[in-house]
Amino acid sequence: MTKKVLSGIQPSGSLTLGNYIGAIKNFVKLQKEYECFFMVVDLHAITVTQDPAALRENSESVAALYLAAGIDPAISNVYMQSHVPQHAELGWIMTTLTAMGELERMTQFKDKSSGKDSVGSGLFVYPSLMAADILIYNADLVPVGEDQKQHLELTRDLAGRFNHRFGEFFTVPEPYIPEVGARIMSLDDASKKMSKSNPNAGSYIALLDPPDVIRKKISRATTDSGREVVYDPANKPEISNLMSIYAECSGMSLQQIADRYEGQMYGGFKKDLGEVLVASLEPLQQKYYEIRSSGTLGDILAEGAERARSVAAQNLAAVKERMGFLPLR
């Protein structure tokens, strides 16, 4: 049988170049080999306060960017997490199998709750819902960044725990971490991942940034001392990050880029990088606006959710039977 892949992105802000290179480009590749489920994880987004109008807009935007980037809804399931209620129901079941200590060890919870007087319980238990997202389809592979590996390990533990208690059922998922492009770092601090939640808009390239904004952000990007365009993440993390972006968006190798700018200063390199980014994102942006204006997005999401529900409902019913729930007559 064809293996299943599950992944999703939160609609909690504007998707960035880091989301595209580290996640969505890989989604497009994976759909050619696997049965893919690509969600917009709106239930996860509400673990922190969301403005309703912004949540609706961002949800549609993420879905349209999936499609604009090349995810084909004819062969991949593209849908809203909240449109498949089995996620939430299995999420509750997974919560009952998760120990408090396991959730307390999650570094993302520690980071996001640090310094806050009050934190919603959803932020604490959301790794159990993430486990349910994966297990509801018995996904074999999960594309994850380094910051999500801990959550996937919990998912693997919960799958094994359920199988031990109630009989073999869940597939224990494996991480899919691409060797190149998995982590694009912030433009103002290469020790931090590029993030749409960063309050400094100059720290990231949003996929829908206009050309002049892209050029300005790159021109202002932090660079290391010295002036050599060389790839040396340990000693020159800032220029190495910009070179990684250049390589991902141009198709050139890091060595080819270093050779091209040998003996030159950062200014010419950054100016060229701005143009490379503008040219790379222009087709995606054009396709995005075509999708948003076509009126077809709602139908695509409904069809994706219907297919996803058929798989999720069957698996949830099997889980509940094994646990001793009475079936609905």
Nearest CA among 200, 158, 162 for reference residue 13: 200
> E strands along 27-116, which residues?
35-40, 76-80
- Reply yes or no on whether 217 is catalytic: no
Q: One of 4, 32, 110, 112 is an active-site residue; which one?
A: 112
H-helix or E-strand containing 4? Answer: strand 4-9
Residue 112 among the catalytic residues: yes
Residues 193, 217, 236, 270: which is the catalytic one?
193
DSSP reduced 3-state for 284: helix
- Report the run of H or E that residue 5 belongs to, with start and end: strand 4-9
CA distance 78 to 300: 7
| Helix %, strand %, coil % of the chain (to 5) | 55, 10, 35
Structure-token pair, residue 52: 């309703």
Instruction: Please list, in sequence order, all residues whose beta carbon lies within 8 angstroms of the beta carbon of residue 37, skipping any fewer than 6 positions away.
Output: 4, 5, 6, 7, 76, 77, 79, 137, 139, 308
Closest of 152, 148, 144, 154 to residue 177, by C-alpha: 144
Residue 303: Cβ-neighbour burial (10 angstroms; 0-12, 13-18, 19+): middle
Structure-block tokens of residue 112:
């996001």
How far, in Å, CA of 305 to CA of 202, rounded?
Answer: 35
110: annotated active-site residue: no
Annotated catalytic residue within 196, 217, 236, 270: 196
Q: Which residues are catalytic, by number? A: 112, 193, 196
